[in-house]
Structure 1
């Protein structure tokens, strides 16, 4: 099976699934599918049981996905395993919400149907992860403290995403407004993207990022690009970002950088 095609298909099906468009998912369920999780006792075996379960499902929930990472674990001519991880917020009709980090592990197999080879989902395993408190070792003693005030993902997150290739062969689909800044790593060959949902290593240099995404990544230093929406302030030779990070601005570049940021801000109504 072609890995990139299966990664893209997984991404498309899951994204549509969380927009309550479940038909593409159902169309790709294998006759012998095994479904696990995410809750205790959620186990379904066989396409008929999956179809029966979904035909009986009625709800008024909506969902918002954050930044998405996809990894292919193994592949063969007739099977492929893809793991997809992302934060997801469940929105309830009463206005309440719950945000969890989720991992979906799908084992794809190839079936011959009407003389054609088609991909089918043989195993679907969904896990909800919880964040570990710094004082916890094995057991989540401080679970309530971790999730107190946990910020939901904005509903706008379901819109535009930008593709990046990870240095570890991961496929990244990131929401531009979540990217705070980029840092040059590996002697300038690659970049680290720091976002509101964690850091992601990409195979692109900061120069390539600057050229490909000038709408939301502006250079403030030879090692750093910043996203104007996350700039809190610009003072003499430094910029302060929404995560508290302060980055240096070379004296020779300061005036030009400040002018460029103000031009970006003018389009959004923001000012310092």
Structure 2
């Protein structure tokens, strides 16, 4: 028989690996589950199954686990712990959250059965919708992404353009917000200025590093200055909105998500 601490670790991992049937085998028929969402206050194994089924398409990674035995007697065992779950942009979903849990088990002849489980998220570290992100988001995720973006901006990235007025022109790419095509020329929009270059946007695109993304036939954006992506535009620092074609939206969204996820994975 698995002890209660190891079984708790297994259940958490199975849950975030989205192995629902394997989780259910450890549940008592009358299990009570209280989770962090309003809908996650249910009694009975079939109600638990129904709620968990909704989440099966979004797997997570579990790290920083720590579980402890609170108490144990001849009939029950109680375990508490904490861990971090994260998602790196799979299925258009980004998430990084610390969680805490409590599991109570009944000892049966065939092994331990969960009779009560409670999972919660800390509520003192959320950013509201009126801040830099247009939706409520964990402060930890927000700070990690922005730390990586700040580091990217500090790296020297210089490229030579053919300036329309002065010939060769060396530009610090960290200051470039976006580049806009204008017939056979381009307008380079920087934080504090803009200038025209005698190059086609398709040629410019080939010279740019991975933090630049072509979102439209006429626009290349510096992803380090993108605040969010919504139908059908990107919102950038400086209150700038740039369009995304409907047919290109999903690909742009995925590319942005993957880019920010990579910044986190470098931590």
TM over 0.5: no
Q: Indicate the structure (1 or 2) with the bigger Cα radius of gyration.
A: 2
TM-score, length-scaled by structure 1: 0.44
TM-score, length-scaled by structure 2: 0.45
